[in-house]
Amino acid sequence: MEVITVKTSRRIQMIDITAEVESVVRKSGIQNGIVVVFIPHTTAAITVNENADPSVKHDLEEFSKELVPHNWRWTHGEGNSDSHFKSSMFGPSLTLIVENGRIALGTWQGIIFAEFDGPRTRKVWIQVIGA
């Protein structure tokens, strides 16, 4: 397993980590198979979405705040229940196809790390498995 570090700078923040994950796949030498990307945190997540127009990441950040408000009737004492909820909404892992040494993604797709309780230093666990 490879581990990469992501430093976030805002409470809610979408960060494109496609290049970092591609680099792990390249280093593995595996040409065809799958790559599993897992987030070992309860207030962050991972997703695939558009990485061409930055307004998409901005909208994901802003609407997630509206959809799951920080101030609600949460009971969890740490004051970050909205972060836990957002983390579960987006999910902790991705399984992607590796083909000819590259991650198979649609033209506009990128791998996006979703921070929901930043700023923090986060880990991303990556395992590349040959077919």
Please confirm whether the linkage preceding 119 is cis (ω < 30° from 0): yes
Which residue in 4, 122, 115, 112 sits closest to 52, CA to CA?
112
Q: Counting contacts by CB under 5 A, is residue 80 touching Zn ion?
A: yes
Alpha-carbon gap, residue 106 to 17, rounded angstroms: 15
Nearer to Zn ion, 27 or 70 (CB): 70
Question: Measured at CB, which residue is nearest to Zn ion?
Answer: 78
Nearer to Zn ion, 8 or 80 (CB): 80
Q: Extract the runs of DSSP E, i.e. beta strands, from 1-131.
A: 2-7, 13-16, 33-38, 44-50, 93-99, 102-103, 109-115, 121-130
Q: Counting contacts by CB under 5 A, is residue 87 touching Zn ion?
A: no
To Zn ion, the closest distance from the beta carbon of 74 in angstroms equals 9
Task: Pick the piece of the chain touching Zn ion (CB under 5 A) from 14-22, 72-80, 96-104, 121-129.
Answer: 72-80
Task: Pick the piece of the chain touching Zn ion (CB under 5 A) from 49-57, 64-72, 74-82, 104-112.
Answer: 74-82
List 53, 62, 78, 99, residue binding Zn ion (CB under 5 A): 78
Nearer to Zn ion, 17 or 68 (CB): 68
| DSSP conformation class of 91 | -
